[in-house]
Amino acid sequence: MEKKRLPKALRKFIRKEKARIRREVLDFKEQEKMINEIYQKFLREDTKTTEISKKSG
């Protein structure tokens, strides 16, 4: 099964946010927590749009 990739603009945004977090937050566990929150936010939104497109099509 092929894994669905995020759009290029979204991947770029996430990459920049991860870099910003790593620069600004010194605590490693806090960094990981914040990065995971970013991924969860966008992965949930992506699954919602996928479910909507499956229902309409």
- The pLDDT assigned to 54 comes to 55
pLDDT for position 1:
60
DSSP 5-29: PPPHHHHHHHHHHHHHHHHH---HH
For residues 48 and 57, what is the distance between their CA atoms, to the nearest angstrom?
Answer: 14
The pLDDT score that the predictor gives to residue 47 is 61
48's tokens: 């919602």
Question: Model's pTM, two decimal places?
Answer: 0.68
Residue 6, pLDDT score:
83
What are 3-54's pLDDT values in tens digits? 778 899 999 999 999 999 999 999 999 999 999 999 999 887 766 655 555 5
Structure tokens at 32: 């990981």
The pLDDT, as a whole number, for residue 50 is 54
